[in-house]
A and B are shown apart, each in its own frame.
Chain A
Amino acid sequence: MTATDQDLTEGNKQDAQEFEGLQTPFKRFLSDFCESKLAVLGFLVIVGIVLLAIFAPLLTPTDPYDLTSVTILDSRLAPGEKMMSGTVAYLGTDGAGRDMVSAMIYGLRISLGVGIGSGIIAMLIGISFGLLSAYAGGRIDALFMRIVDIQLSFPAILVALVLLVTLGKGVDKTLIALVVVQWAYYARTIRGTALVERRREYIESAVCLGLSKNRIMFRHLLPNCIAPMIVVGTMQVAHAISLEATLSFLGLGMPQTEPSLGRLISNGFEYILSGKYWISVFPGLALLVTIVSINLVGDRLRDVLNPRLQK
């Protein structure tokens, strides 16, 4: 009997060693993530774009918001032509005579800011409602989820459109519209995860230990909801950026004085038929690269973090 026991522990040790070969969860996550070259590329591009947006004033050749330096005489210069000030407009100028490179970097700043900002606010609101819903259960849960269901049954673009028609234009109003559109996704996701986690034993044991409800919610539930939140978050930020651009294109959302990428594209649309492609094409490419990068990363995150899909 004792011999058998010893042999068994031998076997367990072997097991344990094999498991150490599988590294810590974070390292494993990292190596899984890096398996996709596209996702890594996407991540690097995002880092670059964010840096570009943060340091916009230092990097742009001209200040597109400085009305004294922007002149209508420079309008619609083709890529590579020289502006009045002598600066070369490598990507041309738009209808108002702004250098496209500068306008795009500033536009990127606004698009990214509105996208990420609304994402964070929506996430906070969504997390609060989702956790509350999951934890309270019963009627509160039913009510919240009914609201979420009804809202999600209407497409985001329509809800945002209605809000902006009633609210008007502006950064703050765009932000509000984007938050309203997004919060429900977060709430639903976090509620789903929290419900699963709640049933797990450790929550029960925490309740038995007499920990306060808030403590349980934030100490125990939240960490387990992080993975799905990251996945939803990346996708939602991409979605918000795209949505903001679309709204701006439709003439709602950002005002003409603070053109986001969508607004720039929209401005260029009137010149498309006359072949002045650059005003629409370049901001569009910038928008595209941004959104695709975020989605590539998000897609990979979902594959890596979703336990159901793991082999």
Chain B
Amino acid sequence: MSVFIIRRLLQSGVVVIIMSFIVFSGVFLIGDPVEILVSDDADQEEREEMIKSMGLDKPFLVQYGIFVSKALKGNLGESFVFNEPALLLILDRMPATMELAVVSLMIAIIFGIPLGVWAGLKPDSWASKSIMTGSILGFSLPTFWVGIMMILLFAVMLGWLPSTGRGDVQVILGMPLSIFSWDGFSHVLMPAVNLALFKLSMVIRLARAGTREVLHQDYIKFAKAKGLQESRIILVHVMKNILIPVVTVLGLEFGGLVAFSVVTETVFAWPGMGKLLIDSIGLLDRPIIVAYLMIIVFLFVFINLVVDILYSILDPRVRLQDVKS
């Protein structure tokens, strides 16, 4: 088990290094590094000073080394617009994004699994056909457009829900969160549902496919032959089997939620790091873009690692293989 974790840790380290190299060469080589790191309204003297201080006259690999050593100290550059360290700015916005992503994930799981299992248990019923058609819709609807339509319907026409911002924020465990106050909740609801729709469709499909596959297995028949209650067969025998793939995929997709929150945050003016990224792209605040990318890379590698470990805990078959290897 620990061998497995160490091996995965090493792999993750390699991926981070590769990705940092790609981001670095992408942003620093394809674009003009001076233009990227020097504010547009700087004069010639400031430019040259910047080039020196950044070491842009040095060979590429040396530059990369400097970038990495600075990054390791947590220095990912300073925002032109806010004149603050890019890393701090992003970390400041992170709780909002995380809250949105977690609430979305919850919505996807809480509604997706029962609907998917239901559709898998009764594949020919009218209800499950509607569920499946609905999930195609969920896949097809572009997130941003659904968001706009939600604003049009619930904020502009019906006036039930606010269309922008986070609302009341309470600090819980050191993190500012909206979900625990009514006002905050009303602000979270629309963006979270919006972000969740795609994953909800995915969970429904996974759960349905899993259920259908598991139901045909001999061990389900054997469970029936033991005279178990239908409810126990579904809730224990079927569920436990489909939870493994669903949890794995969902875990991996959490990163996708964070990434896709870029869109939802833009639509609902949700003050998270995704909105910051899009604003920075608009304002050409490039250090923030670089910092965001590095943080996202880190996040993804971290998530993959956690999911792998979680998976090995959930599925006894995987666990044994690793003990052996």
State yes or no: do A and B come from one complex: yes
Quick check: A288 and B281 within 8 Å, CB to CB? no
What sequence of 0s and 1s flags, for each residue 237-254 of chain B, a beta carbon within 8 Å of any chain A beta carbon?
A: 000000000000000100
Q: Does B291 contact A (CB under 8 A)?
A: no
Q: Give Cα distance in the complex from A238 to B262, angstroms.
A: 20
Given contacts A273-B156, A288-B145, A291-B142, contact A157 B262 (CB under 8 A): yes
Q: Does B310 contact A (CB under 8 A)?
A: no
Quick check: B259 and A155 within 8 Å, CB to CB? yes
Which of A157, A262, A281, A299 interacts with B260 by CB under 8 Å? A157
Q: Give Cα distance in the complex from A153 to B11, angstroms.
A: 14
Q: Which of A155-179 touch B at CB < 8 Å?
A: 155, 157-158, 161-162, 165-167
Which of A153, A249, A273 interacts with B252 by CB under 8 Å? A153
Q: Which of A79-124 touch B at CB < 8 Å?
A: none
Quick check: A295 and B31 within 8 Å, CB to CB? no
Chain A hits for B81, CB < 8 A: none
Q: Give Cα distance in the complex from A119 to B27, angstroms.
A: 26
Chain A hits for B252, CB < 8 A: 153
Chain B hits for A299, CB < 8 A: 136
Chain A hits for B156, CB < 8 A: 272-273, 275
Which of B18, B19, B30 interacts with A166 by CB under 8 Å? B30
Interface residues on B, range: 35 or more
Which of B133, B148, B155 interacts with A280 by CB under 8 Å? B148
Q: Does B110 contact A (CB under 8 A)?
A: no
Chain B hits for A251, CB < 8 A: 278, 281-282
Q: Does A265 contact B (CB under 8 A)?
A: yes
Q: Does A242 contact B (CB under 8 A)?
A: yes
Chain A hits for B266, CB < 8 A: 249-250
B contact residues vs A (CB 8 Å cutoff):
15, 18-19, 23, 26-27, 30-31, 133, 136-137, 139-145, 148-149, 151-152, 155-156, 163, 252, 255-256, 259-260, 262-263, 266-267, 277-278, 281-282, 289, 293, 296-297, 300, 304
Given contacts A166-B27, A249-B266, 19 further A-B contacts (CB under 8 A): A153-B252, A155-B255, A155-B256, A157-B259, A162-B293, A249-B263, A250-B263, A250-B266, A251-B278, A265-B145, A266-B144, A268-B148, A272-B152, A275-B156, A280-B145, A284-B148, A284-B149, A292-B140, A294-B140
11 A-B residue pairs with CB within 8 Å: A154-B255, A155-B256, A158-B262, A242-B140, A246-B144, A251-B278, A265-B144, A265-B148, A273-B163, A292-B140, A295-B136
